């Protein structure tokens, strides 16, 4: 089967071939013909299986066949995504695949100056890739109009729901023409996704290239058991001894990503962190350095689990397991892309046993587990809450931690203007405010 046999023009098939792809992936083979027929689509495919081309290629085909608009181009296709990185990646793919077509596209997202985005929109575009927040912001400013949209795509819809975008999505849908083609693509299906699809898809065709929530077969998954306090040293050893040149490492928190990246640098391993608190410029520089191999280790939170497309990425490490098992599927899907082999390694301490069990139930396999000599698990260590904030609060280290003795001490420390205590205490130690003279 070829891309041309799916109904794509020579102009698009040649652009795809230039990117090095000759045969469509299963999701592309199933989705592209249905989109070209004008059907609404509800599609599920593992991350890294060519899902993006499954909707961008037929959209380009459909738009290229429509008569050219007179005057300024109007937005005819809208692609909504949850993250900036994914939005930028989709635009790159669209530009590569439309190189032989007379179509214009652009991307808008938050975290950067909106003026260049406004100028691009004012020049006229056929295809707009956007994150929901910035899209609604610019629409309210009358910088764009969605009145001519023929095609709507919700990509990584499950992630958008996880990030709380449901209200924004519904606001965007309300701004679109009622008659349009709708495509919903997601790596995982949930009850919430199916409910959303029932609200705006019309007689959709269900496209599933792989079983729900499964992981790519060519990814070798393994677990190394290690105590929480020794994870960093073990990771450094694995990277150095294995001479790993490109490693994507996932942490649960932004602060954890920063700390781990800094520790890598101190051990002579070039590293950068990428998460929601970083500016868009910093995130772009970190990702560029990782792709061109000037940065050896990229430490990321789950915001980067969707949208990072690094060709032939050999290693993904879960420094900490995600508390949402579906996020594990997205994390390890950064390797083993486009049919390549890859390794997904998880460093698991006793605190994370419940997370591991949830992941194994989801993917329906038992992941191979082992220990590294010199880093064996200490059997005397008891499990703690894997959430550091809750753990610190319970141990008295958290900012919100309070107990009776602390409250009493704080009252006793309070002084009035004359330097005496503002409270008097009875024989039982209970405090009462002193009367003012």
Q: What is the pLDDT along the chain (437 residues), one digit of tens a residue?
A: 789 899 999 999 999 999 888 889 888 999 999 999 999 999 886 666 788 899 999 999 999 998 877 788 999 999 999 888 889 889 999 999 999 999 999 999 988 899 999 999 999 999 999 999 999 999 999 999 999 999 999 998 877 877 778 899 999 999 999 999 999 987 767 777 778 888 889 999 998 875 555 555 668 899 999 999 999 999 999 999 999 988 999 999 889 999 999 999 999 999 999 887 887 788 888 888 988 889 999 999 886 556 566 667 888 999 999 988 888 887 887 775 555 667 899 999 999 999 999 999 988 889 999 999 999 999 999 888 777 666 555 555 554 444 444 444 444 444 343 444 444 444 444 444 444 43
Look up the CATH number of the domain holding residue 320.
3.40.50.300
Radius of gyration of the chain (CA): 26
Cα 304 from Cα 44, distance rounded (Å): 20
Residue matched to tokens 């575009």:
125
Q: How far is CA 94 from the centre of its chain?
A: 20
DSSP letter (8 states) at residue 339: G
Cα 107 from Cα 40, distance rounded (Å): 23
Number of domains, the chain: 3
The pair of structure tokens assigned to 425 is 């205490």
Q: Which of 174, 208, 242 is the last residue of a domain?
A: 208
pLDDT score recorded for residue 388: 60
Instruction: Indicate the length of the chain as a whole number.
Output: 437
Which residues contact residue 427 at a Cβ distance below 8 angstroms, ignoring those fewer than 6 apart? none
Q: Which of 182, 208, 234 is the last residue of a domain?
A: 208
- Strand pairing partners for 274? 300
Where in the sequence is the domain holding 42, given as residue range(s)? 4-208
Q: Is residue 307 domain-resident? A: yes
Q: Is residue 155 domain-resident? A: yes
DSSP letter (8 states) at residue 122: H
In this structure, the answer to whether residues 256 and 333 fall within a common structural domain is yes
Helix axes 132-140, 166-174, angle to 10 degrees: 40
DSSP 393-407: HHHT-STT---HHHH
Q: Is residue 214 domain-resident? A: no
Residue matched to tokens 């350095």:
289
In this structure, the answer to whether residues 96 and 167 fall within a common structural domain is yes
**What are the E-state strand segments in 9-165?**
41-44, 77-80, 105-108, 127-130, 151-155
Q: Is residue 162 domain-resident? A: yes
In this structure, the answer to whether residues 243 and 389 fall within a common structural domain is yes
């Amino acid at each position: 089967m070829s891309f041309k046999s799916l109904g794509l023009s020579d102009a698009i098939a040649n652009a795809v071939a230039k990117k090095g792809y000759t045969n469509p992936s299963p999701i592309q083979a199933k989705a592209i013909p249905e989109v070209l027929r004008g059907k609404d689509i509800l599609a599920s495919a593992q991350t890294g299986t060519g899902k993006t081309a499954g909707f961008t290629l037929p959209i380009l085909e459909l738009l290229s066949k429509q008569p050219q608009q007179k005057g300024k181009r109007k937005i005819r296709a809208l692609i909504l995504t949850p993250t900036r990185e994914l939005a930028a990646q989709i635009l790159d793919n669209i530009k590569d695949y439309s190189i032989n077509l007379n179509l214009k596209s652009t991307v808008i997202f938050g975290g950067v100056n909106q003026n260049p985005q406004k100028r691009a929109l004012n020049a006229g575009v056929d295809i707009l890739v956007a994150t929901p927040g910035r899209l609604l912001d610019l629409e309210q400013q009358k910088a764009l109009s969605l009145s001519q949209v023929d095609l709507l795509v919700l990509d990584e819809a499950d992630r958008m729901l996880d990030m709380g975008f449901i209200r924004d999505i519904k606001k965007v849908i309300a701004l679109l023409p009622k008659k349009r083609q709708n495509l919903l693509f997601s790596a995982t299906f949930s009850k919430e996704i199916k409910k959303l699809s029932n609200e705006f898809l019309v007689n959709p065709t269900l496209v599933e290239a792989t079983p729900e929530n499964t992981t790519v077969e060519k990814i070798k998954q393994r677990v190394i058991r290690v105590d929480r306090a020794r994870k960093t040293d073990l990771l450094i050893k694995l990277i150095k001894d294995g001479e790993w040149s490109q490693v994507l490492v996932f942490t649960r928190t932004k602060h954890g990503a920063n700390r781990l990246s800094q520790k890598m640098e101190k051990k002579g391993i070039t590293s950068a962190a990428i998460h929601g608190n970083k500016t868009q410029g910093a995130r772009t520089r970190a990702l560029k350095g990782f792709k061109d191999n000037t940065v050896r280790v990229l430490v990321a939170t789950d915001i980067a689990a969707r949208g990072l497309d690094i060709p032939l990425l050999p290693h993904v490490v879960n420094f900490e397991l995600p508390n949402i098992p579906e996020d594990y599927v997205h994390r390890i899907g950064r390797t083993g892309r486009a049919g390549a082999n890859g390794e997904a390694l998880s460093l698991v301490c006793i605190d994370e046993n419940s997370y591991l069990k949830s992941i194994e139930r989801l993917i329906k396999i038992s992941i191979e587990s082992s220990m590294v000599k010199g880093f064996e698990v200490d059997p005397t260590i008891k499990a703690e809450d894997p959430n550091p904030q809750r753990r610190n609060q319970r141990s008295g280290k958290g900012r919100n931690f309070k107990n009776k003795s602390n409250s009493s001490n704080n009252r006793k420390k309070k002084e009035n203007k004359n330097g005496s205590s503002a409270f008097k205490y009875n024989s039982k130690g209970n405090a009462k405010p002193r009367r003012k003279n």
